[in-house]
Chain A
Amino acid sequence: MSEYTYQEPKEAVFDKPTQLITRGQCVVVRLPSELTKMVVLGQGKLVNLGKFGTFCSDEVVGYPFGQSFEILEDNKVKPIGALLQTHDEPEDAEYDNATDELIRNLASSENNQQIINIGTKIQKMTTAEIEELKETGGAGVGKQIIEKIIASHDAFDKKTVFSQEKYLKRKQQKYLRRFTIDYAGPSQVLQFYYQKDPSRVLDMSEESLGMMMNLANVRQGGKYLLVDETGGVVLYAMMERMRGEGMIVVAHENEHPNHSVMAHSNYSDELIDSVVKPINWLQFFDPEEEKIGWTDFPQDIIDGMTGSKRQQYYRRKRRATDVNHAINLVESGNFDALIVATTLHMPSLVEKVLEKVGGSRPMVFYSQFKETLVQTQHVMAKDLRVLAPTIFETRVRPYQTIPGRIHPVMSMRGFGGYLLWATRVFPKEGITAVGRGIVRKENRKKQKIEALDELSGAPTEESTPEV
């Protein structure tokens, strides 16, 4: 009988393991090439990594996240030190020559010296020493493979140190049966989808995601209004920063919101349901029409229902409660932040939803296109309910991090999106808008000019109160 009893959504607890690799969990398998794979560690389940081999899920359970492994025979693994970090760099000769040239120009004599040094040092190594290096891994891992390569590569010592290392990294990528298990956090999930198809996550970079979370002041216990077209990456990042405490109303344009990413989050459905309150735009803008009228049936009637009828009854009751609850949340407004990552037309969206944001709370809009945010910023600039709209672009530039040979990597992703940050405010009564500024009737002319200066971004005089 108990399976038919309707239960109010219970207070779900955040109890997912974030430090230890645990059975049943979805995790990220990272290969030396930095390619990643999402895997659920089912009991006894074999994980196939193609040319890197196959391992049994049970073998990695109990280790902390970040642990690297080498695949042995019989789907077994052995824990090892970390993998070498590499960047996906083109493997063509022209590129090699260009980078080698760069290095030569930087320090040619020192470079040649180093070639000899490394060559002789390695050749003097015994196999036991190399084995030991392999065991300890860490900083030595880069050099450990040199021995094997040197032995079969006559011209090796004629290469510059730089190309030697690159060569070795490639060998490691190609031949070593190694992998790392990472926590499937929002950054990792973002990276995974980004590799598959950047447009799925609206080209969003990790730095844009992190900046969104901070600018929107996302934290434990907050109540947020979210529009998310990244498949739930933004939602997941927010959930992590709230740890199951607080509320996220997710406005969407379909029958159900698309949160497919949450499947990797390892949250229980109860936890997700207790935090995430979906509402479609029709319900959002037409609340009275869309509220579902509901009165409980008398208990004796419920008791008299057949199993499937009763189940249906409780399902309908649940839906009515959820929909009405979400509508009520939106009607009462006063959200702690508005967070938007959408392809809907933002300049018209912002005017319609900003009333729902509480006083002095942040609004953060993400777009892959700056132009969209520019249009939105112009709309905001005319709206006295918005303070200081600002567009940010942040880009992380990775470097080749080898002491003595530090330089930016030769190619990096050029995009990663833009953010528009603003604060919701309440204009003083009796003040009317002209452009971005404000006008008091007796002082209209002077202020009008200032207001328009403000709009134009011209440096305002110190005595101009900025709005």
Chain B
Amino acid sequence: MSFTAYKDTIEEGDFVFCWISREIIKPIHVKAGEVLGTRFGIFSHDDMIGSLYGAQISSAKGYGFIHLLHPSPELWTLSLPHRTQIVYTPDSSYITQRLGITVGTRVIEAGTGSASFSHSFARTIGREGKLFTYEFHEPRYVEAKQELEEHGLTNVEITHRDVCNGGFEIEENGASKDIRANAVFLDLPSPWTAIPNLSSVISKDSRVGVCCFSPCIEQVTKTVEALMAHGWSSIEMVEVSAKRWEARKQMVRRVDDAVERLRDVKRRKDAGIQRRKDDIAREALEGTEPSIGDKRPASETPQPEEKTKETGFNPFGKGVRVRDGDPQWEWINVSKVESDIKSHTSYLTFAYMDPNIRVVNPVEEVAEIIA
């Protein structure tokens, strides 16, 4: 049930996504007596049982903390074991929206890969929908099949198949299964060899949308040619770029304060020079030679901890370790794009198949006669 509906309290056997950091989310099945070892400490499953989803728990020693999160397709995408490259949420959510995939949609997906998108599809199409997903790599197929079952995604049917050579049809009791897909997603190296096999498995009485996901422009060219040759139209390729922004703080450093600081430095320097002149004058008067190595009296030598600190007027905390947002200083809220951006995932080639038929609706005809 975990991927299809929320529950509030964690029970034995439940699927929990342990949030350790943005980079580390560990999906686990909770089992009494077991522990989760992380580099932040050891967390007991017993502490999880009875906790609320969303709760924070501490490690056995009490220093480390993790959050216990509820599974969702989007968190799964961030935490799943990678068997392949995967489709991330900015792409998958756009494809879903653009192809009009909602509750009840029948979808074909090849290949399954790490089943990142499969989880998202399964959630969106709901009970009435159906996802037919295909994977030709046996170990990946076996892993994905087990995973989909464990996650209770009963609206997904996975088939071990090379869709380019073997097509999409599924035999059942000696007959071909009625797939009638309304939407197709192809994430494999040569979609153009799979496209000819689609005609027998897509819906004949509604518009069908396809999206081919390919990283190279050469693949797009071949895909577009194949789509055209097989009657697909409204062909358009797009690219989704996604950026993540981080909230940051920038210190307000006013030029007036900079001027004031310079003035202050100068004042103190002048005072220092004056003091040196006075010293020299005094020394001359008293007839003692200033020592070569240390020109200043011992009292003027900065204390070790003051070495980095600036004395006097210090509006920007020079030499002090200032934490961003420290209320002693003034800040503005700014944002910065994350350091490595995924600037290219793949090209998305969309196309549609229009059945070009008219369905005569008997109910409607009768209504017409009555009216």
| Chain A interfacial positions (CB closer than 8 Å to B) | 18-20, 22-23, 43, 61-68, 79, 81-83, 85, 137-139, 141, 183, 185-187, 206-207, 209-211, 213-215, 217, 219-222, 237, 240-243, 245, 334, 336, 358-362, 370-371, 373-375, 377-378, 381, 387-399, 401-404, 406, 408, 418, 423-428, 431, 435, 438, 440, 443, 449, 452-453, 455-458, 460, 462-463, 465-467
Contacts and interface: CB of A to CB of B under 8 A. Distances in A.
Contacts, number: 296
B78 to A, nearest CB: 10
Contacts of B359: 20, 62-64
A398 B238 contact: yes
A458 B360 CA distance: 65
B97 A423 contact: no
Given A214-B120, A358-B8, A359-B55, A207 B69 contact: no
B139 interface: no
B132 interface: no
Given A210-B94, A398-B236, A399-B239, A187 B245 contact: no
Interface centre among A23, A375, A394, A438 (most CB of B within 10 A): A394
A394 B242 contact: yes
A392 B244 contact: yes
A220 B244 contact: no
B93 A210 contact: yes
Chain B: interface secondary structure? mixed
A61 B72 contact: no
B56 A431 contact: yes
A66 B207 contact: yes
B325 A213 contact: no
B206 A467 contact: no
Nearest to A207: B94
Interface residues of B, number: 98
Interface string B325-361: 1100000011110000000000101001011111111
A241 B58 CA distance: 37
Contacts of A453: 323
Interface of B: 4-6, 8, 19-22, 39-40, 52-58, 62-70, 72-74, 89-90, 92-94, 96-98, 100, 102-104, 120, 123-124, 126-128, 182, 203, 205-207, 217, 220-221, 224-225, 228-229, 231, 233-249, 323-326, 333-336, 347, 349, 352, 354-361, 364, 371
A219 B128 CA distance: 12
A243 B221 contact: no
B248 A397 contact: no
Given A139-B228, A187-B100, A207-B97, A394 B240 contact: yes
6 contacts: A22-B364, A62-B361, A65-B206, A187-B97, A374-B333, A399-B347
A94 B53 CA distance: 60
A240 B243 CA distance: 27
Contacts of B205: 19-20, 64
B103 A241 contact: yes
A401 B240 CA distance: 15
Contact of A396 (B56, B127, B238, B336): B238
Given A187-B97, A210-B93, A220-B127, 6 more contacts: A62-B361, A211-B89, A219-B103, A219-B126, A241-B124, A426-B54
A456 B90 contact: no
